[in-house]
Amino acid sequence: MPIFDFLSGQFVDVIEWTDDTRDTMVWRFEREGHEIKYGAKLTVREGQSAVFIHEGQLADVFTPGLYMLETNNMPIMTSLQHWDHGFKSPFKSEIYFVGTHRFNDLKWGTKNPIMLRDPEFGPIRLRAFGTYTVRVSDPALFLTEIVGTDGEFTTDEISFQIRNIIVQEFSRAIAKSGIPVLDMAANTAEVGKLIADAITPTLTGYGLSVPEFYIENISLPPAVEKALDERTSRGIAGNLDDHMKWKAAEAMGNGGAAGEAMGMGMGAGLGMQMGNMMMGGMGGQPQAPATPTPPPPPIEHVWHIAEGGATKGPFSKARLAEMAGNGRLTRETYVWTQGQDGWKKAEDVIELVQLFTILPPPPPPGI
């Protein structure tokens, strides 16, 4: 082996790391069988830190910049090695480059539904997922607590642990927040801040921070979502009796299959009626008319009342009678029911005015 090759293998003159993977958090400078030359150039770029490990001990940490590896900028290494100012010899040390920039678009989500008690629906199960960014805030602590001697550490190796921490704190934050399920979509920013604050102490102990945390979706089980859709549909339909009448009228006026089917049914009914009339005119025995079907019972209205700036109810008419008896419902109380044009005083509603006791006039004198 030529002497030049031997010397180039023994002394490392330039130490740097360029990374294009976007997911490597820690990379060990490969110097197996090499010694670092005293006075070598160390380049630490923006978004990086360089950590020196000497004989298994954490030594100096370098932030972005260009350094000459000498005793004046390696104080811990100098102390560990008992170097004097005349030291010029090569030395051996492990060097780890740590990415301190943001690692973006990391995913989190609940593997299993989370059980909680909703103020409106009672016990319920939720799923949620979103994204977050992570950053190494303390390279030395991250190296000692998480990485160890791993020569190339990526986000995949820590994201699973972070996800477990997020899911655990998500369950606690949602349970403590008291936010109803139907209002969570409007409060994802607030819930996200609660979770980010909750996971910060644990991640700080790893030398990490989470600059951004997002909740993309909070969902219910499919059966519950279907029930909510049906409930919404009933609310949009309004008065079911009026809705069915409108649907029937629409079908009669529609030229499609529904209109044709209804038209055929009406035509068959008229044909049978005409046939019965003809049989009676020819001496035949006409069929007795069918017993008319009684109309459906009237739908009892339910009422809402305005009390203290809030809407209370619904109440049945019998319940309103009790409230009128104990003074909670007065003639001046505003009431509303389905089909009524705005709020009205109870005394202006014919159906309710009879609930109030009409006082007799005073007796004539002398009696």
DSSP 210-251: EEEEEEEEEE--HHHHHHHHHHHHHHHH-SHHHHHHHHHHHH
pLDDT of amino acid 134: 96
* Cut 0.85: pTM above it: no
Judgement on whether residues 89 and 25 belong to the same structural domain of the protein? yes
Q: Which of 224, 249, 270 is the last residue of a domain?
A: 224
Q: Which residue has the tokens 């209370």?
A: 312
More confident: 274 or 151? 151
Cis status, amide bond into 180, omega within 30 of 0: no
Q: Which of 73-87, 202-216, 252-266, 350-364 has the lowest mean pLDDT?
A: 252-266
Q: Would you say residue 169 lies in a domain?
A: yes
Q: Which residue has the tokens 């920013």?
A: 189
| Model confidence band, residue 41 (pLDDT cutoffs 50, 70, 90) | very high
d(CA 321, CA 120): 29
Order the strands of the 65-68 sheet from edge to edge. 11-15, 35-44, 65-68
pLDDT digits (tens, 9 = 90+) for 147-180: 988 889 999 999 999 999 999 888 888 877 778 8
Q: Which of 99, 121, 152 is the last residue of a domain?
A: 99
CB neighbourhood size of 33 (10 A): 7
224 and 181 Cβ atoms separated by less than 8 Å: no
For the residues 69-88, what does the mean pLDDT come to? Answer: 76
Q: Would you say residue 210 lies in a domain?
A: yes
Domain span at residue 160? 103-224
pLDDT of amino acid 133: 95
pLDDT of amino acid 171: 84
pLDDT of amino acid 38: 84
pLDDT digits (tens, 9 = 90+) for 227-246: 777 777 766 655 666 666 76
| DSSP per-residue codes, 35-104 | EEEEEEEEEE-TTEEEEEEETTEEEEEE-SEEEE-SGGG-HHHHHHHT--TT----B--EEEEEE-S-EE
pLDDT of amino acid 5: 45
Angle at 9 between CA 26 and CA 59, to 5 degrees: 40
Judgement on whether residues 44 and 58 belong to the same structural domain of the protein? yes
d(CA 100, CA 48): 5
For the residues 67-75, what does the mean pLDDT come to? Answer: 84
